[in-house]
Amino acid sequence: MGKLLELKGVSLSFGGLQVVNDLNLHLDEGEIVSVIGPNGAGKTTLFNLITGIYRPASGDITLDGRSLVGLQPHQISQRGISRTFQTLRLFLNMSVKENVMAAAYGHTNAGIFRSMLRTPGMRREEREIEQLAQERLAFFGERLMGYRWDQPAYSLSYANRRRLEIARATASNPRVLLLDEPAAGMNPSETHEITELIAQLRTDGGYTILVIEHDMHVVEGISDRVVALDHGVKIAEGSFETVATNEKVIEAYLGLQTTATK
Amino acid sequence: MSDSTPHSSHIPAEGPAVGQDEWVARHGERRLLRGGRLGKLEERLRVVPWWVWLILFVAAFSLLPVVESSGYVRRVAFDTVLYMLLALGLNIVVGWGGLLDLGYVALYGVGAYTYAFLASDQFGVHLPTLLAVPITVIIGALVGLLLGLPSRRLTGDYLAIVTLFFLQLFQTLMTNGDSVFGHDLTGGPNGILNIDPFHIFGHDLAVQHGGVFAVSYFYLALAVFAVVYVALRFVNLSRTGRAWRSLREDPLAAEAMGMPVNWLKLMSFSFGAGVAALTGTLFSALNASVFPLTFYFILLIVVYTMVILGGSGSQSGVVLGALIIGPLLELLRDPGKARILFYAALVGGVVFGFRRSRTLGIVSGATIAFGFVMHAAASAHDAAWVAGDKASGFGGAMAHWVVVPAHLASWVQPTTYVGLIGLALLLTLVDRRVRIVLLVPTLYLAAFVWENVMLANPEPMRYIVLGVILVSLMILRPNGLLGERRVEIV
Amino acid sequence: MDTFIQLTIDALTLGSVYALIALGYTLVYGVLKLLNFAHGDVFMVGSFIGFGVLQLLGGTSNPIVPIWALLVLVTLAAMAGCAVLGVVIERFAYRPLRNAPRIAPLISALGVSFFLANSMQLLFGAQPRNYDTFSLANGALYLHGIDIGQVRVPLLRIITIVAAFVMMVMLWYLVNKTRTGKAMRATSFDLEAAAMMGIDIDKVIVFTFVLGSALAGAAGVMFGLRVPTNVSIGFVAGLKGFTAAVIGGIGSIPGAMAGGLILGFAEAYTQGYISTKWSDLVVFLILIAFMIFRPQGLLGRADIHKV
């Protein structure tokens, strides 16, 4: 299986601060890779670089060998990369259903004029989009279905909002999913559920997943591989055990002269 | 704790799951309670499909020329339809695209002037209507597109400046366009005259029949309105409408979900411009003339007030806004009607403000009494102080309550006006009891100012009313009458 | 050459007035991120206050105080009056909207602008008011002056330019060298953080409006001294003012000064060398050029957003 997503020598700085420094990262098709690191390590910046919100000062980011650098975020999304956000960015005043349907924009094409006339082609596409939304939401069981369909997103509980964001991200039919702290703020049972869900996304959905997480239980439960970042530099890579016991990783999280406890 | 009786129609019959969904399930109820009476009414009316409303409305409106044969009323009705179209167009840009387009009425002007260029003696070009109108719309949309392009990522403030400057520029260009390198392009301040009327199905649409405003343009405008309304509604329900709503919610997330935000904003801008240009052709053809001054700041604020009052983002809302503001502006031109409107608003405001409260009686009684006392004191001091302008009918009756002097010293107008504003603003600061006490002289002063200062100058008075409506709306009810109450994360 | 000198003097005079107005915009935008559309009409009110006080003091033909005192009093009155007006507008039209989405105070500002202009028309009518500066001391302000080449620069122009410059220097000093100024700068960087550092945001904002509106009042008097004023000048003046602020870099004080001068020069030279008709077009094109190539303006900072 070839490398699906690859970052080669990517660097970025804001003013004098080097946020990402000569980063090499790759994602093989079907993998689940976790990115860990203390706050400020550059993890979300990494996601922003991949999705085109920031442009790398040097280096290249490729999907299937084709470069993504310089593309607009919506173009990158249409190429097959989708994401969730650390701070949750749902379309709060839109309904649950609409949030998911909205993300289907990139792979549909009923234009404004066809919409004005409501051509049969446009109506067919609308039905397909709605069906797609239903499928994606059904992934989470009954939670986001039924009467929740038409409720505005702001009425959802926190955990449901996180789930909705993931559902929305899958609606653009991506190949790669970037999940930014999907378990943040969840209680243990919800965290356990999310862990299973991410695994299910790979097996049932076929997505290749890059996850930023702080909760090591989740990381341990899902990862094929773990990458540790600190101050924009990759300091360790490998299986969970390898990385968790790596000296530099422990130092980054806890400081010098501390023994690891697991 | 499971409950077998549903709390609202939204919950499935077996009731919400224990401990999890109760709060969410009650969401519908809470919203109902928050919306108040207006909200409850809305809920009931929401069941009626939108196109039923449209049909009813168009049917009712089209009966107007049948019921009312006055040319003036028909003319106002026509103007109101134009306003409704303008409001619909601005709604696309502001309500759906979320862009502050302050040059919108210049695009209206572009449409009006372009039609004039294509169908008058100005350049000797007399294109048939079915060519001139579409070409004008396309040109309008193109100009809108060009205007939106440079505003990098169309961030609110920069776009506002560029578009406002365009408004000014359009004005200057049209006013000075009568000598461009020796050629008269735009007719200058006197505009372009003798514009061709619409020529449809082999007939020129007559503007007048024997001096009275003919209805053909009115019905045409109404038909255009209905078509535009439906077309826009369909767009709003489509993926483009969804994308517009998404980018209003969170442009970054929308972009990340595959929606080309910049292009979508440009499209909303361009479409709004197209609708404005279309309205411009109607304006030109009916009036048979265009002047630069029509398309300037005053009209901009008028259209914006309509959109904000009705509820930006809601098509039916902005139409309602136009229906209210358009005729209101006309009514305020006539001092007699303006007087009635004022007192109606005063009484209505007091009643609504103090409904379900004994204070209503106190305030009303006190104000009336206060008024008569002041009036008596004034006339006792000097009969000339209450001898002013005894209009007949309602005005004359009110002149027994309000002090209307025969002559006003020049300092009275500014002092009482500023005093009224000061008092009104002060009212918002003080606590409830003081407010009730202060309200009485304030109401009386308001009546005095209205009678003696405002009614004397209907032109600026109408616009002052509009300005007050606009500011109050933004502070008290920014979502307008029919706009949705939005949850924002700042 | 003489035309050039004449036009340059015109540019400087015009630019000074624009700069003063632009400063008001940039100060308010700096702290509130709000384009105060009503500012241009505050400028207009300033010119009217100046006129009113001028009449109270006997008018230009029979002033009851010496000329210099007359000018100072008139200017101070306009500055004070406009400062009060600015504070009232902020308190009642903008402060309630401080946590509302950005578009809300903008529209409120439009409403206030509309209200102000029409209120003035209601109260004082649409006809122009002429300060009639020429009558002052038998035209002293026009007949005396400095000669540059063949061109006589009237005293009035010199006073205008110098006064504007002095005010700008004082403002710069206030903002950069005093504690209050530091509070203003802190607030303009990050309102919430400044509040958390113990800065009284409301006071800072009020102070900003006082400064900006006072400058507009002074600009109003300078305007009125040279050209008859009327109730409709607010719109165009405001427009030019914040265009100048944007071109110079909104949020930057030297930027506003630079922007005002650029605008003044662009207009003066276009009007002189080409025609008065096209100065608006030229300024528009300059604005568009900045929007495309340098949206942060001449001296503004490029924004860094954290996602």
CA neighbor of B474 nearest in space, from C242, C110, C116: C110
> Position B169: which residue type?
L
In this structure, what is the dihedral angle of CA atoms C122, C126, C127, C131, given to the nearest 10 degrees?
Answer: 70
CA distance C221 to C230: 12
- B82 exposed, middle or buried (CB, 10 Å; 0-12, 13-18, 19+)? buried
Closest Cα in chain B to C281 = B169
Q: Is A83 in the B-facing interface, judged by CB distances under 8 Å?
A: yes
Do C157 and C227 meet the contact criterion of CB atoms below 8 Å apart? Answer: no
- For C154, list phi and psi in degrees, rounded to 5: -65, 150
pLDDT digits (tens, 9 = 90+) for B180-230: 777 778 888 888 887 888 877 766 666 665 556 668 888 889 999 999 999
Do A41 and A230 meet the contact criterion of CB atoms below 8 Å apart? Answer: yes
Which of A48, A71, A74, A94 is the best substitution to test chain B (most B C-beta atoms within 10 A)?
Answer: A74
Contact residues on chain A for C304, CB-CB shorter than 8 A:
14-15
Task: Tell me the nearest-neighbour CA distance from A221 into chain C, angstroms.
Answer: 28
Which residues have C-beta within 8 Å of that of residue B79, sequence separation ≥ 6?
B326, B330
In a domain, B462, yes or no: no
Q: Which two tokens stand for residue B414?
A: 């500014």
Do A171 and A144 meet the contact criterion of CB atoms below 8 Å apart? Answer: no
CA distance B205 to B199: 6
Domain residues for B224?
Answer: 51-331
Do C229 and C128 meet the contact criterion of CB atoms below 8 Å apart? Answer: yes
Residue B17 has pLDDT above 50, yes or no: no
Domain total of chain B: 3
Distance, C-alpha A32 to centroid of its chain: 11
CA distance A145 to B12: 12
* Distances B349 to A180, B341, B342, B363 between C-alpha atoms, Å: 52, 12, 10, 12
Please spell the DSSP secondary structure of A109-140, one letter per residue: ---HHHHHHT-HHHHHHHHHHHHHHHHHHHTT
Please state, rounded to an integer, the average pLDDT across all residues of chain B: 83
For residue C45, the model assigns a pLDDT of: 96
pLDDT digits (tens, 9 = 90+) for B219-234: 889 999 999 999 999 9
pLDDT digits (tens, 9 = 90+) for C57-96: 887 777 787 888 888 999 999 999 999 999 999 999 999 9
Do B417 and C119 meet the contact criterion of CB atoms below 8 Å apart? Answer: yes
Residue B7 has pLDDT above 60, yes or no: no
**Domain boundaries defined on chain A:** 3-80+174-254
Does B256 contact A73 at a Cβ distance shorter than 8 Å?
yes
**Domain boundaries defined on chain C:** 18-231
Report residue B166's pLDDT band, with 50, 70 and 90 as the boundaries: very high
CA distance A72 to A78: 10
Closest Cα in chain A to B21 = A157
Q: Is B470 in the C-facing interface, judged by CB distances under 8 Å?
A: yes
CATH class of the domain whose range is A3-80+174-254: alpha beta
Does B487 contact A103 at a Cβ distance shorter than 8 Å?
no
Task: Tell me the nearest-neighbour CA distance from B352 into chain C, angstroms.
Answer: 22
Least confident of B210-219, B227-236, B304-313, C102-111: B210-219
Q: Which of B47, B63, B81 is the last residue of a domain?
A: B47
Closest Cα in chain A to C304 = A14
Q: By three-state DSSP, how is residue B270 classified? A: helix
**Edge-to-edge order in the sheet of strand A58-63:** A17-28, A3-14, A58-63, A66-67
Residue B18 has pLDDT above 60, yes or no: no
For residue B466, the model assigns a pLDDT of: 94
Count of helix runs (H) and strand runs (E) in chain B: 20, 4
Task: Tell me the nearest-neighbour CA distance from A219 into chain B, angstroms.
Answer: 25
**Edge-to-edge order in the sheet of strand A225-230:** A81-83, A176-180, A208-212, A32-36, A225-230, A233-238
Structure-model confidence comparison of residues C15 and B152, the more confident one = C15
Q: Is A104 in the B-facing interface, judged by CB distances under 8 Å?
A: yes
pLDDT digits (tens, 9 = 90+) for B265-291: 999 999 999 999 999 999 998 888 899
Interface of A with B in 29-58 (CB under 8 A): 51, 53
Interface of C with A in 265-304 (CB under 8 A): 304
Which residue is associated with the tokens 């109270």?
C56
Q: Which of B273, B303, B331 is the last residue of a domain?
A: B331
Residue B242 has pLDDT above 80, yes or no: yes
Contact residues on chain B for A151, CB-CB shorter than 8 A:
10, 24, 27
Both B284 and B168 in a single domain?
yes
For residue C305, the model assigns a pLDDT of: 45
Least confident of A228-237, B154-163, B390-399, B460-469: B390-399
Do B95 and B307 meet the contact criterion of CB atoms below 8 Å apart? Answer: yes
Which residues have C-beta within 8 Å of that of residue A146, sequence separation ≥ 6?
B12
Q: Is A39 in the C-facing interface, judged by CB distances under 8 Å?
A: no
For residue B202, the model assigns a pLDDT of: 64
| ipTM associated with this complex | 0.91
* Residue stretches of chain A with pLDDT short of 70: 1-2, 256-262
Both B270 and B349 in a single domain?
no
Does C281 contact B169 at a Cβ distance shorter than 8 Å?
yes
For residue B8, the model assigns a pLDDT of: 38
Q: Is B423 in the C-facing interface, judged by CB distances under 8 Å?
A: no
Q: Which of B331, B366, B400 is the last residue of a domain?
A: B331
Name the residue facing A115 among B23, B235, B257 (closest C-beta): B235
Contact residues on chain B for A89, CB-CB shorter than 8 A:
250, 252-253, 256
Contact residues on chain C for B168, CB-CB shorter than 8 A:
235-236, 239, 280
Q: For chain A, which chains pass the contact test of at least 3 CB pairs under 8 Å?
A: B, C
Task: Tell me the nearest-neighbour CA distance from A48 into chain C, angstroms.
Answer: 8
pLDDT digits (tens, 9 = 90+) for C167-209: 988 998 888 888 888 888 888 888 888 888 888 889 999 999 9
Report residue C19's pLDDT band, with 50, 70 and 90 as the boundaries: very high
pLDDT, mean of residues B457-471: 93
In a domain, B388, yes or no: yes
Does B238 contact A147 at a Cβ distance shorter than 8 Å?
no
Contact residues on chain C for A48, CB-CB shorter than 8 A:
307
Both B240 and B378 in a single domain?
no
